[in-house]
Amino acid sequence: MKARQIKPGIYWVGAVDWDRRLFDALIPLPDGTSYNSYLIRGSEKTALIETVNPPMQETLFDSLKQLGINKLDYIIANHAEQDHSGTLPMIMEAFPDATLVTNARCNGMLRDLLILPEGRFQVVNDKDILSLGDKNLEFAFTPWVHWPETMCTYLKEDKILFSCDFFGSHLASTDLYVINKERVEEAAKRYYAEIMMPYRTTIEKDLHRIEEFKIDMIAPSHGPIHDKPELILKAYHTWVFDEPKNAAVLPFTSMHDSTRRMVEYLVAALAERGVAVQQFDLAVTDIGKLAIALVEAATIVIGTPTVLAGPHPNVVNATFLTDALRPKLRFASIIGSYGWGGRTVEQLTALIPNLKVELLEPVLSKGAPKEADFKALDKLAETIVEKHKALNLK
């Protein structure tokens, strides 16, 4: 994709990665992604904000060439992760007059991660202003969106917030701006769930920090630009600040259908009682879908057979991930079947130290579930409903 003008003197010079299907060797990318760089031409100085993932560096160089850029004064790094910083060494070599502008922590991390030329750094503090002449950039420290060093850059005259990962979405698209709101909101929610949710309590402060600005546009470094920022700001407020919903998630694995029958019974029992439920067969599910469901769920019920004296490895993986994502769950339980024994409940509960949940009585069936097991599942459904009602969850 070629460079695209956002406003006079401000250009998107990123790269769209249609084919990438996995990030960090962990996160599924069903819709690809983009690495958004931005070029700002002031009356006196020119700045580039972020670079692109190194395999796509040629696209960035082509865009700069297309715009006739033969001198860069500043390269601003809001975040040290290599999908944005990885092309810095090549850009700094190609533009020898450019100074790399970032905060002290990011400076240190960039030096750890990349081989960069010495003596070409400018360290900035929160609220510092960098003048490009008729355009001025203010830096806003917003730690933990996604790493501890992350910051945003605000272009005061045009009221654009360059937010890097914050408010981003893994979405390859020819849309420079948000056109398909539902599609972008779903992708942004997935992104929030996988990248931001673990740091939710810090992000509360980050949201307050950036709300000090009058923002006409949010330009993240993944996915379309938010030219109507109310949509994404409102969504983040809901995800970060609101109470969980009257909703439950049931990730499970089943080997011989006993656990599956229990999961399906409980899903129906909860649905009959007015709880919104999503079940995920971990043998086939996109783990990102589970992460999305965790953003607003109040209860998780983990379904597993007992295998090798403990929970199924698929379930261990999903439970560990759920704990790492730190969703705002309030309740948890475990259901499933076993053949002759094991330590399934003990091992699974040891995997969720970060979840501030009340553990509800597990239901484990010896072999195929029988009448007493289904009655216990009814009781578990009743308990979940009562707990949600007590918190007045909607």
- Determine how many CB atoms are found less than 10 A away from the CB of residue 175: 13
20 binds ligand FEO (CB under 6 A): no
According to the binding rule CB under 6 A, does residue 138 interact with ligand FEO?
Answer: no
Q: CB of 113: closest distance to ligand FEO in angstroms?
A: 12
For residues 225-244, which are near ligand FEO according to CB under 6 A? none
Whole-number Å distance between alpha carbons of 354 and 334: 17
What number of chain residues touch ligand FEO (CB under 6 A)? 8
Helix (H), strand (E) counts: the chain: 12, 24
Beta carbons of 364 and 345 less than 8 angstroms apart: yes
- Residue 77, classed as helix, strand or coil, is coil
Nearer to ligand FEO, 116 or 359 (CB): 116
Asked if 206 interacts with ligand FEO (CB under 6 A), we say no
8-state DSSP, 348: H
Least distance from C-beta 240 to ligand FEO, angstroms? 18
- Pure H helices in the chain: 57-66, 82-85, 88-94, 104-113, 181-191, 200-210, 230-241, 258-272, 287-294, 313-325, 344-349, 371-390
| Residue placing its CB nearer to ligand FEO in the complex, 80 or 92 | 80
- Binding segment for ligand FEO among 78-86, 197-205, 284-292, 307-315 (CB under 6 A)? 78-86
Stretch in the footprint of ligand FEO (CB under 6 A) among 79-87, 263-271, 309-317, 353-361: 79-87
Report how far residue 349's alpha carbon sits from residue 328's, in angstroms, rounded to the nearest whole number: 17
Both tokens of 36, joined, read 């958004």
84 in contact with ligand FEO (CB under 6 A): yes
Taking CB under 6 A as the rule, does residue 79 contact ligand FEO?
yes
User: 17, 165, 194, 373: which one contacts ligand FEO (CB under 6 A)?
Assistant: 165
Residues making contact with ligand FEO (CB under 6 A): 79, 81, 83-84, 146, 165, 221-222
